[in-house]
Amino acid sequence: MRWDGLFDDLEAQWAELDRRALVAEAAELTRGEWSRLGLADRLRGGIGRPTRLHLIWGEHRDVLLESVGEGWIGGMTEAGDGLVVPLASLAAVEGDLGSATEASDRPSARVPFAAALRRLARARAAVRLVSLTGATVAEGTVDRVGADHLDVARHPRDEGRRRSAVRGRLTVPFSALGLVADAGGA
C-alpha cells in the first residue's frame, strides 16, 4: 500500500536525522574531551611507540617513548641510548599520538624532572647535558640533584667517576637543560 511506503520513508528520514544528530553530538563531545588534554597526556598515549622529537634548537631525536613524567619525557634511541627531555625543549612531536592517557591514570605521570635525574645520580650513569641551544654543557656523572638544579662531576665519557678522572664540577639549573643523554650517545 502507498501509505506504508510513505510511513517507511518518513521513518527512514527521522532515523537519518537522529543518526546525524548523534554523530554531531559525538563529535562535539570528542572535541570537548580533546580540549582538556595536555601534551603530556597525548605523549603518555604514545608510550611504546616510535616518536620523533623535534627540539627547539632545530635538531630531532628518534626515540621509543618509554615514560612521561611531570614536565619531561624519557625514551631510548635506536642505538639503545637513553634520553630525558624536558617538555619545554620540544618544538614539535611526530608520531602516533592519536590516543591519550590522563595523568590520573598513571602514577609515573606525577614523577617530577628532579626525581628522574636523581635516578640517574643513584645509578652513577655517565651523562651528557645538552643546553637549550643544542650545545653540550658537560659530560660526567650526576652527583647531586636539587629542587631546580643539578651538580655534575665532569670527567671523560670513557672513564668512570673516579677522583683522578674528575676534571671539575658544574652546577646547572634545570631551566638551562635541553636534554640529558647517555654520555656515549645522542
Domains of the chain, residue spans: 1-36, 40-182
Residue 159 has pLDDT above 50, yes or no: yes
Please give the CATH architecture assigned to the domain spanning 40-182.
Roll (2.30)
Q: What is the DSSP string of the chain?
A: -HHHHHHHHHHHHHHHHHHHHHHHHHHHHHHHHHHH--HHHHHHHTTTSEEEEEETTS-EEEEEEEEE-BSEEEEE-TTS-EEEEEGGGEEEEEE---S---GGG-GGGG-BHHHHHHHHHHHT-EEEEEETTS-EEEEEEEEEE-SSEEEEEE--TTS-S-TTT--EEEEEEGGGEEEEEETT--
- Three-state SS sequence of 91-140: EEEEECCCCCCCHHHCHHHHCEHHHHHHHHHHHCCEEEEEECCCCEEEEE
pLDDT in tens, 91-144: 999 987 766 666 565 555 578 899 989 988 888 888 999 999 999 998 898 988
Cell of 106: 598513571
What is the average per-residue pLDDT within 18-39?
A: 61
Instruction: Report, as an integer, the average pLDDT of 162-169.
Output: 72
pLDDT of residue 179: 95
Of residues 147 and 11, the one with the higher pLDDT is: 147
- What does the pLDDT read at residue 50? 94
Please report the pLDDT score of residue 1 as a whole number: 47
Query: What average pLDDT does the structure give for the chain?
Result: 80
What digits encode the pLDDT tens for the residues 51-82?
999 999 999 999 999 989 889 999 999 888 89
| CA atoms of 181 and 178, how far apart (whole Å) | 10
Question: pTM of the full predicted structure?
Answer: 0.75
The predicted model gives 158-165 an average pLDDT of 65
Residue 182: what pLDDT? 86
* pLDDT at 155 (0 to 100): 74
What distance in Å separates the CA atoms of residue 108 and residue 111, rounded to the nearest whole number? 5
